Every structure is written in structure tokens, then in C-alpha cells.
Structure 1
Amino acid sequence: MKKNLLALGLLQAIAATTLAATPTQSHAQDAVATTNTAVTTEMERMVVNGQIVYRNRTDDIAPVLSYDLEFFQRFEPRTVGDMLKRVPSVAFLSDVLEYDGARLRGLDASYTQILINGKKVPGGGEDRSFYVDRIPAEVVERIEIVRSPSANRSGDAVAGAINIVLRDAYEFDGGYVRLGASRFDDGEVKPAAAVVASGDLGGGRLLGGISRQGRYNPKQKLSLRYDAPGGEFQDREEQSDTRDGDDTSANLSWVREFDGAKLALSGLYVRTDRTETEHSLEFNDPVSSARENLLSINDQVEDIRQDNFALKAELDVDMAGGRTRIDGSFSRYDDDTVSTEQETGFDDDDTPPSWDGFEGVRTLTALRDDEVAFTLAHQRDVGAAKLDFGVDYTGKDRDLALRVSEVEAEEEGELLPPYEDFDLTASTIEERRIDPYLMLTGQSGNLEWETGLRYETTRSDIRVDGEQWDNDYSALLPSAHLRWNVTDADRLSLSLARTVRRPDFNYLAPVFLEGEYGDNDFIGNPLLEQENAWGVDLGFEHRLGRQGVVGVNVFYRDVKDLIELVNHGEPSATALEDFEDEVEDFLEDNPDATPDTPGYPVLEADSFVYSAANVGDGKVYGVELDLSTPLTAFGMPDTGVFLNYSWLDSKVDDGLGERRFNNQARYVLNVGFIQDLESINSSFGISYRRQGGAESRVIGEEVETTYGADLEAFVEKRFGESWSVRLTGNNLLDAKKQETFHKFNTRLDQIERSYDEFELESEQSGRVYQLVVRYAF
């Protein structure tokens, strides 16, 4: 109740201080933005006609980069992940040819807020991340990169936000059919098809689309393990990892305008059916694959079914001297996965190694994550300024059930017994948020400004296996944005905002995980609070001619209450087992001994139970450069180039010393060009991407990750105004992902560099070719 009264008082107090606002006037939309907005009504016909599209120059006072689908379309992206890999500062820590958890400014995906049509959506990640490769590119109108939030957006966006704007019936006219097929490195061919159409219905505009595309990724992995860097060889593992499935999506949008009102209804549904199959062979020789060197055979199969859907209704109406917006949305994420792993082990003490066991583990995962959201907002002129205030409500319910069954064969040649006895771990996390906000915008000459205040309150309820914990927390989030239109072509922007990052679900749920970090165990902390950060963005942008844009941005984030692992103070299960074995051995030699007997073992644990706590601080900073322009100044108006480069860095002290934020790439580079050949109705282009190395350090493990360069190319031929044929090639350099693992049993071992294992792993997937035929009508 006190928090709600504080929120109400905050709104009243700030409203009272805004009545003397400075004058403002309507600012005309930039010529480039006008051009790019106009072409959206031409749907895919612009692609057929071979028109190059560049980054939009938006009118937002807050720093926002906007890219229409047509910016990416020539390279035929399959998913939003394929689109995002081309924009500034977005990195991935995925397998080769996988682009799932977008890492804006290189930070963990949980620091990046993913929105669909401006609304948060649930995802399957334990770190609250949403896998952007679940959304097909066909349903997208544009991608917005929001570098610094405004008060009318949710504040959990330390790194920034990515807004995926779906096709809108009001702005899309016509339709198209897309048919294609992809050929993968092992010869597998996967089809793809999509239909999108719009028209008048019920006094409004209706848009509908459906798509289905095959997803496939055959990967080969090699791991070499040693007892330490430069030390004795331990074993070699060869693994094939194939991901085979289909994504099916459907989207609808209906928009109708009334006198002084606009009603918009939209829906999106995406189903993923996928099977992941891994086959591994482990040998005790660095090169030989003979039977006498075989240590184990491991097979793992995951059958995955995931369903995402989102429904939204929005009403904008003129009332009370301004414009009122009422919207509601419901989103659901369902994940049903059956994972079965079976391993046959061989005893290396015999030559050749003899059978040493056959065991299996089956894990059933059932996850449902629902979010309900409502917004009531009002915008009006106050004096000569514009006032925007409202309240957002969000309700999240996340239910997770894990069932695990372990079986083993008694004799060589026997089949595994049925998976019947399952151990169940069930958890439920409920969160309720009420977030009022107030925002004021205005203009004075060439200076435009926006300032706002948001107050976010969260009430959480966590239940695990019948036990319950409650936790409440809140944050006051001010923001301010300033833009100086130096000339018609040049503008400077400055942003200041406070943001938060909510705790990972696996850190909140107090589930005991044995051996989670080397010999150390882990248990979640349901009383964790959110991290918070003050951030600054300073940018300059210059318009090049009518279509080109070049920009540079410097950013800084000061993160407080960083969530880090802390020693819970209790010995780990491994330490207790070792102590029990030591006591048993002592009693065998001293049958009548008691704890008072001289020499009786004393528990001196070297591994412990760890938990999570808000104990750290960190800093994140970098420079972002982007360029998108035709080469008209060089007499080549039919040549378009794009370049973006982001230098990224950070500092954290985790108790073992200073490090960067875990898995933050050191840089992200994208460069490419598109060349139109109008005389023969053809085009071709190349895109090159490189991502810097990343490092991670937790208790018991340190990982270094590097990626090879990614080269893509396309060539297309257009026939009239309606037909086009494109051939694209992905991963043409056959890039590798390489990881180096430093593994330790205890924290002391990690400090003293006493290794448990040192591993070198490489992964490769191969080239992919895609042929697409598109007909616009």
C-alpha cells in the first residue's frame, strides 16, 4: 500500500512542476525518414524493383536506430536473429549458424530487453532472455534498437532494448508469395514457404500471413582434453550435433480508424518442432579411432516443442483535451522437451578397454510462462509542451516442472530398463508489477528535449516443492534526453537514464544443484533484488545526401548491486562424501575410535555450497560507429554500402580479481555492399561479419570463446515488377567457433591454478545455400 501511495504522490508532484513548460512546436519529419516510411506501403514490390534501402533516421528524441525489413531482405534472413547480426553492437554467444540470445553491447542476453510491438514477451531462458531466432523474418516490418529508455518504456534494459515491430495492416498494401529451399553442408535440403496479403475488411484494414520453414544445422565438434595447459593428454571426443526441425508461424493485424479514434488488433503465433541429436565417441588417443582406444559412446536426443503466441488490442481515442491510449496484451511461452542421454563406458585399465557400464538419463521439461499486460496512458499539450503520463501493469506466471529418471544395465549386452521412476522438482514464480510514469517533451529553437520519471514496483512470490518465499522491491527510474539539431544534416544527442536488471529465475529458485561449479554446489536465493545502473549515451549523427546516414555514439553504464556468487558457508556434498570416506577408512583401522580419539578425521572442506547475492559493482563502456549510404558522391548511386563497428569493454571485480562482464565480445564488425544493375534488372552484394573474443569466469570454470569471420553473398534477378529470384550463400568462409575451458574443482584450486582439466573445443557447421522465388501482387 505504501508503495502505491508513493507512486500516486510521485505522479501528482511531478505533474505540478510541469505546468510552466517551455514552448514547443511540431517538428517535421526528416526527409530520409519520410522517404523510408513512404516505401513501406509498397510492400515487397520495392525489393522486386531493386531499390536499396538504408537505415532510417528517426524523429525520436531518445537515441533509436531503425531498420526496415528491406534493409536486410536481400540476404534473405530466416529469423529476427539473422537480421540482428547485421546491426551495431549486437553480439551472440551461440553455436555456429545459430543466432538466439541477442547480446546488445555484448552483455548477457538478460541485460537486453526484447519487445514485440513495444510489449515485453516471455521467453524460455532462465536468465529471462527471449530467443530472437524463434520469430520468422517474414512477419517483421522493422527493427528498432533503443539505446537508452524513455519513461514510457519498461526500465529493465541496462544494455538497451530491441523492439521487433510486426507488419501493420494500416501501412502494408498488397501481398506476396515466397518459396524457397536451403541446401546444407551435408546435402540436406529444407523448404520454406510464406504468404502475406492485406486488404479492406469490416471498415478497416486486415493483414494476414503464414510461413513455414525448415530449420537445420549439422555441426561437428572436436574436444581435446589435458590435465593442464601444456600438460599430459587425457582424452579426445568427436561429436556430431544435428538440429533438425520446422518453424511454423501465423500473424494477423486489423486496424480501423473512427472519428477521433483508432482500434488495432494483432496476434502472432510461432511453433517450433525440433529434434537435436548428438552422437559422441571418446578415445584415449589424440588421433586413433580404433576400438582399443575407445573410452565411451554417448548418444543424446532432445525432442523439443515450443509454442509462442502474443495477442494485443490497442485503442487510441481523443478525449479529455488530449489523446488517451488503452491497450492490453497476453503472451504465452510453452516448452515441452524430452531429453534422453545414454552412455556406454569402457575401462581404460584394460587393453583394449573393457565394458564398464551402460546407463541412461531421461529428463522431461514442462515450462509455461504467461504474461498479461495493461496500459492506460494519456498525452496532451500542456502550455506549449507535451505531457505523457500513465501506468503499466504486468503480471507474470512461470511454472516449471522437471522430471528426471536414471537407469542402468546390469550386464553387458542388456537393454536399459524402462524410464519409470521420475524425481520431480516443481517451481512457480509469480511477479506483479505496477509502474506509473510521467514524461514531458518540448522544443526551443533547434533544441529538443524529453524528461521523465518512472516508478517500478515488483511483488514476487516463489514456490518450490511446497515451500514459499515472498519478496518486494522497487526502483525510481529518471530519464532525460536532449537533441540539438545543429544543421539540417547534423544533430547531437545526449541521454541519461537509470535502468534495472531483474534476477535470473535459476538464481531465485532455491533448488539445490549438486556439483554445479566444479565440486561446489549451488542453491538459489529467493530474496535477491534487481541490479540497477546509471547510463549515459552521447551521439552525433550526420545525414549524407537524401538517404545516407553516418553516426557515432559513446556509452557508459555504472552497474550497482551486481549479482555474484557467494560462499553459503556450508560444505559441499563432495566435501561431505570425502569426509565420510575418510572416517570410514579410519574406523577400519581403529574399530573402537570415537571423535575424541587422537587422529580422528576433522572436516576441513575445500568445496562449498554457493548462492547468489547483490554484492558487486561493474562498469560497461564503448564506442559505436555506423554508416549506411549510397555512393552517389562518387558517381555510383546504384551502389549502397553499410558499415558498423562497436568497441566494447567493461570491468567487474568478482573476488578472484578484475575481469570483464562475462562473455562480452570485445568488438562487433559488419561491413558490406549492394550493387544494383538496372540495365539487366539484377543485383548482387556481400556482407562480412566479425565478432571479437569473449571470456567468462565463474567458480570452478573459465572459458575463452572466439569465432571465425562470417561471409555472406547474394545475387538476384528480377522479372518485371512482380517476380524476383535470389540465390544466397551463408557461412561461405566455413567459420569455426573455438572454446578453451579451464576447469577446477575448488576456488582455492582456481586461485592456485591447480587444474582438474584443460579442454580445447572447436565446432564447425559448413556452408548454406538458399534459393528463393518471390512473387508480389
Structure 2
Amino acid sequence: MKKTALLALCAIAPLALAAQASAADVAPADAPVATADAPVTASEVVVQAQIAYRNRTEETAPVLEYGLDYFQRFEPLTAGDALKRVPSVAFLSDVLESDGVRLRGLDPAYTQILINGEKVPGAGSGSGAFGAGADGSFFVDRIPAELIERIEIVRSASANRSGDAVAGAINIVLRDAYALDGGFVRAGALRFDDNKVRGTAGGVWGGQVGPGRLLVGANVQGRRNPKQKLSLRYDEPGDDIDNSEVQTDTRNGTDYSFNASYQVPVAGGDLDVSGFFVHTKRFQDEDSIEYSDGVATNANIETINDNDVDIKQDSWSLNGKFKREMLGGLTSVKLGYASFKNEEYEFEKEDEYDPYPTLDDSAFEETRSDLEDTEFSAKLEHKRDLTAGAQIEFGLHYEKKQRDSLIRVAEDRDPYEIATGGDTRFEQTRLDPYVMLSGKSGALKWEAGLRYETTDVSIDARQEDESYETDYQFLLPSASVRYNLTDVDQVYAATARTVRRPSFEYLSPALLEAELGDNDFIGVPTLQPETAWGLDVGYERRLGRSGVAGVNVFYRKVSDLLELTNTGEEGSEGDGTFIYSARNTGDGKVWGVEFDLSTPLTIVGLDNTGVFLNYSWLDSDIADEFGSRKFNSQSDYVLNIGFIQDLPTWGASFGVTYRKQGEAYSRVVGEEVLTTYGGDLEAFVEKRVGKNLTIRLTGSNLLDSKKKEAFDKFDTIEDQVERNYKEYELEREQAGPVFQLIARMAF
């Protein structure tokens, strides 16, 4: 605890000086802002001459923008690692992993993930029915950080974007043909807590090719995550230990990525063709031993479990956009195709002893899971000026998504059989027209629009030879205003109606046995989406020529919540268990306050010191069978704080960042979980050599962060109400530090 407090204090110290900053040396509100369209030289990317801060956007809607240079000195491996440093982003992942984004602490399905402004197919690597990613959310750890140009946090929806963004949207913008002049190569190694070393290498080049500009990039990234887990199980809280489980969990893999972009003038307009491909090979090795009475001796061994998962994933996307001045304005046509394919082979062998080494029973199970998501999209959009300072934009968006899943299981080396509900096709077709007005008058900017989303869903349960269809339509208004109070101060407000569609598992008619404690679950194909009205109100102030500070207050009122319900039918586990389903019922509320600051300490004479702070206080309220609670697994808060010190005379710099998120509570039928995380400290030191070479050493998870979970488990609702426990479990997961040595050279 003292170590954590001391390190956190080191990160906070420069911030105390920042608090003395005043309005002196500020940039006016109309000061020029760097644009993403102006290419930079490769040497500027490799050798960062200045500390990077949050970008200032001129969007009317509330948008936070962070360039890759904001994150790069801490060498994030993936988009998920980068997102750990932005406001209100929480994760419920394992230690050292950042996959399903929980913007404002809400379930990943409430956050819209975009790549270059376009939606992407989503599916988690886990096969559990209610596992992360199974709800259509996208795992951001699939996108290597080397592909990223910038990340945008879109806090409130606009009519020209899809409305399925209750918590907000995250737009991951990849480097395009106008991002870079020249090229650079990157090489290095990562050392993990188990003394294993993995390599990384890649390169990017951009420049003029024929009549247009081309950018190409490739990257190979070694991945590894060795973890230690300990579980202590009791009959109920306060009892003596019934048994314990010691587990090693090592995840080892390699990511291969490639991206390209070509932009060229064609037929009086501009054509942009871009694409990316990511191939992942990963092997998860979990080995565990259970001991009776919590005493780890051979005499007390109850079971030995060996669980391995071999994963292969391919994600790719191809997009084309053509825009041209015509019909009195600017017309654009966009076509896109994206695919995600996941193949898994899992085997689990469990040996039971009575007593050890006498083998009492042995079970062996193999599972092969094949999942493929594809998505085709087309957009037609037109913008034109109306009167002075006003503009109209309208368009039509089309999207067709398809998911095919096949899950086969073999027990005790018997032939493979299709799992219950394991052969299913899910199709979703959307056609969404919109219209939006926007304008500017003096210090005031505004926009207002309407979006009408129509959705047709079909489900083909091929194993059961049954098909289901449903459809729904929603009118989604949105409006935003931004007003400059002074040259450096502005306020904004935004409101929008958004929607969250039911997860694939909630719609699937497959019966999932013992999914909720000992209770079964079956989906309902006719479920309707949740809808939400939201409000964001904020204030932003510019500090000097680079700094910015802001505060945002948000509120969401959610209707037609998707909640579990008891059908009253007996479950597969017999007397006292039931089949549960889902229904639209009740309302919920989400609210919070978000503060962010990134600024140099110019006002106190420390031009080469940059400080960073964002803090989000998050809360919500929802009612279930047991009373009031927060939305499941919403963290109480998210804190990021740190500094970077540049040493121009030495051509060097160093920095530290500290992250902490609050505890998260989840309650479903049969199980309640309280999750807490330790603090995450990261640091770097770099040396710049000339104008073309940077060598950087980074360390992450320097505090050996722990994830702790407390599970209250019950058989039935009645037992849960009366607190008659089936089991009480405490689980702790821990991983050690990771060190990277990376060199980049421009050419």
C-alpha cells in the first residue's frame, strides 16, 4: 500500500503545479488546429520533438480526440491498451488484457466501436453464451496500435451516425494515404514475468504513387500473458475453507497485421480505397489443482484439471469512398465489406482422486467452435449550403450483417455432436435514412437531425429446423450546440435518442442448460431493443497553446430494459430449478461526471513538462427481482494520472502514468460478483538519436496488479433472496510486469 501511494504521489506532483495555471499564454478560440489531412514526415512520427496533448476538435457534438502520439511513448500493443488512458473507459478483462470496452462503465454492447467511422463485425473469442463479445460488441485488442492514427471518443450521437451508441462511440481512425510522407521501421522485444521474450517488428511507408498517394504498413507482434490464479471456496461467508484451487493461466500468441490506403483524384472527384487485415494465433494453457480444506499438499488433492484452447482469428475490412462536388453540394458514396472469422479447439481433462493418487473418475471433453461474422454496408450522402452559415446533410445507410456459428462437442473421446442450439445463422438487415441541419452564427455552432432506423432480423436454428423473424423501427432525434463564452472558454450541450439491440443469445431459441446457476435459459426471437434518451452538458477551457481542460456531465434514461424472467417451467437440473428467459421490462438511469486535463506547465516555467489527468465518477440505478442496483459491472470510477518530462538538451524524455478503476458489482439470477482491480503503473524512458532514430524502454504493470473477485452463488431465486448459499468463492488473479525495448528509425 505504501509503495502504491508513493508511486501515485510521484505522478501527482507535477499536477499540483498545473493547478496554478491561469488564462495567461492562451490560444484564441479560432487558433489554427492541426488537421489529420496534412501528411507529416516519417521523422516527425519517429522522433517526437514535443509532448502531445489531447487534440482540440471543431465538432459541434461533444468529441474528444487523441492522436497516436498521445499514447505512443508508453508503447501500447493494441487499441485497447491505448484506450486505457482516455476518460470513462473501463475494462472487466483479465490482468494485462484490454478487450471489451466498457465506456462509462457499461456493458460493451452499449458502446459503438467504429473503424474509420464505419461499424465492424463483433464477436468475442469466448464461447460462453453471456461471455464478453457474444452480444455483438467488438474486442479492441484485435487492432494493433501501430495501425492507429488517432482515437475519437464521441460522447453523444448525431443523425449521420448509427444510433446504437447508448454509452457513446469510439472511432478508431487508421493511418491513411495522407497521414505520412516517407517511412519508418520498428523492431524490438518484450520480456515477461516468466522470463520469456517475444519479438515485434513492423514498418510503414507513405508517399506519391502515380496520380495518387499510397500508404502501406505491416506489423508482427508477439503476445504473452502469464498469470497466476488462486480460488478459495466456502459453503458460505464466514465458514472454514471447503477447498482451494491453484491455477496457472498462460496465453501465448502472435498477431500479424497489414493495412493499406490509396487516395487518387478520379472523374472530377476523390476516390479513397483502404483496407486492413489482422491474423491472430493464440494458445491458452490453463492448469489447475484443487485441494480439500485449502491445504496444498498431495494428500489433499481432489482434482487435477488441464484446459487448453487453440485459437485462430482473421479480421479484415475493405472500404471504398468516392466524393465529388455535384448537385449543388458535396456527394459521397461509400461501400464497405468486413469479416471476422474465429476457429477454436478446446479440450478439458479433469481427473478426480479419492484419495490421491487413487484415480476415482476421469472426464475428457473436446469442443470445436467455428464462428464467422460478415457485414456489407453502403452509404449515399449529400451536403449542401442553404443560407449563409447553414448547411443541410441527408443520406441513406444500408447494412447487412450475417453470423454463422457451429459448435460441436465430444465427451470422453466419443464422436463429435452438435451442441444444443450450436448450429445457427443470424441475419440482420438495416436501412436508415437521415437528415441533419447545422450552422454557425458568431460564437454559436449548432446541429439538429433525425435518423429513422429500420431493422429486419431472421434467425435460422438449423439443428432444430426452425426459423424466426422480427423487425422494428425507431425515430432517433439528436441535437447539439456549442458556444464560445470567450476566446478560451466554451460550453456545449447535446441530446440524442439511442438504441441497444438485443444480443444474439437473447434472441436465439436455443436452450442453454445450467446457464444461470442450476437454472436454464432460452432466448426470445421477438425481443425489442432498449432505447435511451441522453443528455451531455460540458465546459472546456484552453490552457496555453497546447493544453486543454474540460468537464462533462452526462445522463441516460433507458427504457424497455432487457431483463431475465422466470417462465415457471422446471429446469434440466430437476426439482427447484427453472427455465429462464428474457423480456423487455422496466427502466434504468445512468449518470456521471467526467473531468479531463492535459497541459504543459508553461505558466510555472516548465515548458518541457506535460501533465495528464482524467477522472470519471460513474453511477446508475436499475431494478431487478431483488431490488435496486447499478447496471451490472459498472465501475464506481476511472482514474488516469501521469506526466511526461522532456529533456531537449539530452535528446531524451521520461514519463509515468497511473491508472485505477473502482469496484464493479454484478447480479444475475444464481450469481453475484464483486470485482476489484489494483492500480496499474506504467513508465517509459526514451533516447532520440539525430532526427531519424528513437530508442524507448517501457514498463507496464509495475505494481503487479491484481484482479479480485468475490462470487456469491445460489441454486434458485428463493435461495438468493434468503441468502441460502450454494457456494461462496474468492478468486485472485495476478500478473507481473512487462518490459519493452523498441527502436524506430525513419527513412
Normalising by the smaller structure, the TM-score range is over 0.9
Match of 2:622 in 1: 652
Match of 2:368 in 1: 364
| Matched position secondary structure for 2:560 | strand
In structure 2, distance between residues paired with 1:43 and 1:426: 49
Q: After TM superposition, list the pairs within 5 Å mapping 1:152-191 onto structure 2.
A: 152-191=160-199
Match of 1:484 in 2: 483
Post-superposition offset of 1:727? 0.2
* Structure 1 residue 455 corresponds to structure 2 residue 455: no
In structure 2, distance between residues paired with 1:352 and 1:254: 65
Amino acid at match of 1:638: N
In structure 1, distance between residues paired with 2:156 and 2:376: 25
> Equivalent of 1:717, from 687, 704, 719?
687
Post-superposition offset of 1:201? 1.3
Post-superposition offset of 1:574? 1.6
> Equivalent of 1:662, from 632, 638, 648?
632
* Structure 1 residue 381 corresponds to structure 2 residue 378: no
TM-score by structure 2 length?
Answer: 0.93
Post-superposition offset of 1:42? 3.2
The runs of 5 or more residues in structure 2 that have no matched partner are 1-26, 124-132
Post-superposition offset of 1:174? 1.4
In structure 2, distance between residues paired with 1:112 and 1:752: 35
Q: State how many pairs are aligned.
A: 708
Q: After TM superposition, list the pairs within 5 Å mapping 1:40-59 onto structure 2.
A: 41-43=40-42, 45-59=44-58
Match of 1:319 in 2: 326
Match of 1:730 in 2: 700
Match of 1:406 in 2: 411
| Matched position secondary structure for 1:679 | helix
Match of 2:567 in 1: 568
Amino acid at match of 1:122: P
In structure 2, distance between residues paired with 1:29 and 1:733: 41
In structure 1, distance between residues paired with 2:548 and 2:45: 20
Match of 2:434 in 1: 437
In structure 1, distance between residues paired with 2:208 and 2:107: 43
> Equivalent of 1:355, from 354, 359, 362?
359
Amino acid at match of 2:636: R
* Structure 1 residue 393 corresponds to structure 2 residue 398: yes
Post-superposition offset of 1:655? 1.7
**1:316–1:323 Cα contact (<8 Å) kept:** yes
Amino acid at match of 1:344: D
Q: After TM superposition, list the pairs within 5 Å mapping 1:223-242 onto structure 2.
A: 223-242=231-250
**1:50–1:683 Cα contact (<8 Å) kept:** no
Q: After TM superposition, list the pairs within 5 Å mapping 1:4-43 onto structure 2.
A: 34-35=33-34, 37=36, 41-43=40-42
Post-superposition offset of 1:262? 1.0
In structure 2, distance between residues paired with 1:484 and 1:71: 27
In structure 2, distance between residues paired with 1:89 and 1:77: 18
**2:135–2:505 Cα contact (<8 Å) kept:** yes
In structure 1, distance between residues paired with 2:30 and 2:43: 22
**2:255–2:279 Cα contact (<8 Å) kept:** yes
In structure 1, distance between residues paired with 2:375 and 2:70: 31
**Structure 1 residues 175 and 32: alpha-carbon distance in aligned structure 2, compared to 1, 3 A threshold:** farther
Match of 1:8 in 2: none
In structure 2, distance between residues paired with 1:270 and 1:31: 40
**Structure 1 residues 686 and 458: alpha-carbon distance in aligned structure 2, compared to 1, 3 A threshold:** same
Match of 2:592 in 1: 622
In structure 2, distance between residues paired with 1:352 and 1:91: 43
Match of 1:303 in 2: 310
Identity rate, percent: 56
TM-score by structure 1 length?
Answer: 0.90
Amino acid at match of 1:150: S
Post-superposition offset of 1:354? 3.6
Amino acid at match of 1:517: L
What is the root-mean-square deviation of aligned Cα atoms in Å?
1.5
| Matched position secondary structure for 1:70 | helix
**1:30–1:57 Cα contact (<8 Å) kept:** no
**Structure 1 residues 345 and 29: alpha-carbon distance in aligned structure 2, compared to 1, 3 A threshold:** farther
Point out the structure with max Rg over C-alpha.
Answer: 1
| Matched position secondary structure for 2:365 | strand
| Matched position secondary structure for 2:635 | coil
**Structure 1 residues 29 and 84: alpha-carbon distance in aligned structure 2, compared to 1, 3 A threshold:** farther
**2:177–2:215 Cα contact (<8 Å) kept:** yes
Amino acid at match of 2:496: A
Post-superposition offset of 1:651? 0.3
Post-superposition offset of 1:418? 5.9
Match of 2:287 in 1: 279
* Structure 1 residue 514 corresponds to structure 2 residue 519: no
Amino acid at match of 1:693: E
| Matched position secondary structure for 1:749 | helix
| Matched position secondary structure for 2:364 | strand
In structure 2, distance between residues paired with 1:492 and 1:570: 55
Amino acid at match of 2:645: Q
In structure 2, distance between residues paired with 1:772 and 1:305: 27
Post-superposition offset of 1:260? 4.6
Amino acid at match of 1:338: Y
Amino acid at match of 2:277: Y
Post-superposition offset of 1:607? 2.0
Post-superposition offset of 1:138? 0.5
In structure 2, distance between residues paired with 1:37 and 1:332: 27
Match of 1:255 in 2: 263
**2:409–2:416 Cα contact (<8 Å) kept:** no
In structure 2, distance between residues paired with 1:42 and 1:447: 36
The runs of 5 or more residues in structure 1 that have no matched partner are 1-27, 408-416, 579-605
**1:437–1:455 Cα contact (<8 Å) kept:** yes
**1:33–1:57 Cα contact (<8 Å) kept:** no
* Structure 1 residue 335 corresponds to structure 2 residue 305: no
> Equivalent of 2:297, from 290, 297, 301?
290
| Matched position secondary structure for 2:71 | helix
Post-superposition offset of 1:422? 5.2
Match of 1:640 in 2: 610
User: What's the CA shift string for 1:204-249, capped at 9, x where partnerless?
Assistant: 0000000000010000000000000001321100000000000000
| Matched position secondary structure for 1:74 | helix
Post-superposition offset of 1:31? 5.9
Match of 1:751 in 2: 721
Post-superposition offset of 1:172? 1.8
* Structure 1 residue 72 corresponds to structure 2 residue 80: no
| Matched position secondary structure for 2:719 | helix
User: What's the CA shift string for 1:337-363, capped at 9, x where partnerless?
Assistant: 00111100123xxx5574221111111
Amino acid at match of 1:437: Y
Post-superposition offset of 1:33? 6.1
Amino acid at match of 1:51: Q
**1:151–1:438 Cα contact (<8 Å) kept:** yes
User: What's the CA shift string for 1:391-415, capped at 9, x where partnerless?
Assistant: 00000011001101111xxxxxxxx
**2:319–2:334 Cα contact (<8 Å) kept:** yes
Match of 1:671 in 2: 641
**2:646–2:652 Cα contact (<8 Å) kept:** yes
Match of 1:200 in 2: 208
**2:531–2:560 Cα contact (<8 Å) kept:** yes
Moved runs in structure 1, 4+ residues, more than 3 A? 28-33, 35-40, 351-354, 417-424
**2:635–2:662 Cα contact (<8 Å) kept:** yes
User: What's the CA shift string for 1:6-46, capped at 9, x where partnerless?
Assistant: xxxxxxxxxxxxxxxxxxxxxx9966662465885134524
In structure 1, distance between residues paired with 2:659 and 2:356: 47
In structure 2, distance between residues paired with 1:743 and 1:499: 34
**2:46–2:692 Cα contact (<8 Å) kept:** no
In structure 1, distance between residues paired with 2:588 and 2:139: 25
* Structure 1 residue 83 corresponds to structure 2 residue 82: yes
**1:491–1:542 Cα contact (<8 Å) kept:** yes
Post-superposition offset of 1:168? 1.1
**1:379–1:387 Cα contact (<8 Å) kept:** yes
**1:30–1:59 Cα contact (<8 Å) kept:** no
**Structure 1 residues 655 and 49: alpha-carbon distance in aligned structure 2, compared to 1, 3 A threshold:** closer
In structure 1, distance between residues paired with 2:497 and 2:376: 25
